[in-house]
Amino acid sequence: MACDKGFSSSYMLLKPEEVRFLDLIRILFSSNVEERKFVDYCRVGAAAEDLNFRQRWMIFISILAQKFLLFTSTLLLWFGSGFEMWLNLVSINQNVGRLLLNFVQGKVVKPDKASETFLSFIGNLDRRLELDSSIKYGDPRYYGALSMMASKASYENKAYIEKIVGDHWKMECLGTHDFWNEYQEKATTQAFLLRDKTDDYETIVVAFRGTEPFNAEDWCSDFDISWYELVGVGKIHGGFMKALGLQKNLGWPKEIQNENDTNSGHNRPAVAYYAIRETLRALLSKNDKANYILTGHSLGGALAILFPAVLVLHGEDSLLERLEGVYTFGQPRVGNGKFGEFMEKKLSEHNIRYFRFVYGNDMVPRLPYDDKDLMFKHFGTCLYFNRHYEAKIVEEEPNKNYFSPLGAVPMMINAFWELVRSFTIPRKKGPDYKEGNFLRLFRIIGLVMPGIPAHSPQDYVNATRLASSHVFLPSQDNPSLDQIV
């Protein structure tokens, strides 16, 4: 069978919306996946029968997870909305005791989801608003620290982002956006842009929002192990490309029709990659000395590093030359080894620095698996931080695939000391590092599942502030690989 997607030489596409339970079970016992409508598989020089049992098991788990998420999406959204409302209700009334007193007195203050004070689940884990005043422009830590705070802010509503960027950071918010995902047929990708400008420099920050804890579509993008192989580039994660703006049956055409154009007969939000590219073109054209950085936490980090990959495909050399760096935090793997080699070469050609922050036992950077069956691999400079926020420059984070029976007990012990640290760190590092009770409760989960609280933004913000500046210097000035700094 010829592989005909117009832009991809080989691919494996999962379609959970078309699967029936019995068909899903049969895939475990039959290697002929071509008979399954929910798997569109084509690999040049290989047949579908080449899929071994473990690969079919991964397909089974991926589709089962997506089916469950789609089935429970409304319930998940309802629960998340209610839980966030409760957290903000307690916060705006100071505490639970005060809330009960206000209820008795009929003076309960009700939160407004669109207000500048309303915080998401992620925002409630780390409520810090201010940038670290000790890290100024020119400090090697500056871009990393600013990027992580922007990545954290990207989870919040428009009013909050505009307030924090303008009033607290004294920068300019250039817009918050909900972008269209053509495959999910919803606006499920979010990002915002800010500008840090003085008489001496101008930096634009593009921050992609990560996975919202109660958003089924976001989790489907994470669990979708579909991939496309581009000639000369490598295999790339399908779910992340779809979130960035991959076009059905077209892939990545250099230009697309503006769906917001009334003459087109459509009224959809813009697509992330194309809209952000046009915005950057316009902004950078006004100042020859301006540059920009890309950032994101979790899923947002995956989108941040895929953005320059598509710029390379389109030959956007002028935009690549103005890209100062890519800073990602808790980012999952986005492609195979060949794609990593391709990107490292292109990033080097355009002198683009790519820092991939990994804290402790965060499970997200260890997914999808890096093994012979899934073949996903990281690339770039990995800054690995232990629970003391000491940084190592490593080729790959320890325990690279997370799930290890031998590693379970040490991870749980480490999670216990992280919980203890939540009480002691304000005395050692100052009041800016104080953790709230909600985060401490969240850390208790780490005693059973260490990789979950380790993914929270608190530890990544701390890492960017407490790290030695040496890890951000050019490679010739860096300590040797694996040296703690």
Burial class of 237 by CB neighbour count within 10 A (0 to 12, 13 to 18, 19+)? buried
Burial class of 476 by CB neighbour count within 10 A (0 to 12, 13 to 18, 19+)? exposed
Under 8 Å between Cβ of 320 and 312:
yes
- 232: its two tokens: 């000369």
Burial class of 105 by CB neighbour count within 10 A (0 to 12, 13 to 18, 19+)? exposed
- Collect all residues with Cβ–Cβ distance below 8 Å to 256 and sequence separation of at least 6: 247, 250, 271, 274
Helices in 285-326 by DSSP H: which ranges?
A: 299-313, 317-321
Alpha carbons 402 and 400: distance in angstroms, whole number: 6
Helices in 126-201 by DSSP H: which ranges?
A: 142-153, 158-163
DSSP assigned state of 165:
I
Query: Distances in Å between the alpha carbon of 84 and those of 78, 120, 212, 234, 321?
Result: 10, 6, 12, 40, 41
DSSP assigned state of 246:
P
| Catalytic residue set | 298, 362, 455
Under 8 Å between Cβ of 90 and 99:
yes
Under 8 Å between Cβ of 378 and 370:
yes
Q: What are phi and psi of 331, to 5 degrees?
A: -85, 135
- 20: its two tokens: 């029936």
Under 8 Å between Cβ of 303 and 208:
yes
Under 8 Å between Cβ of 173 and 161:
yes
Q: What are phi and psi of 292, to 5 degrees?
A: -150, 160
* Helix (H) or strand (E) segment spanning residue 315: none
Count of other CB atoms within 10 angstroms of residue 474: 8
- As beta bridge partners, residue 323 has 292
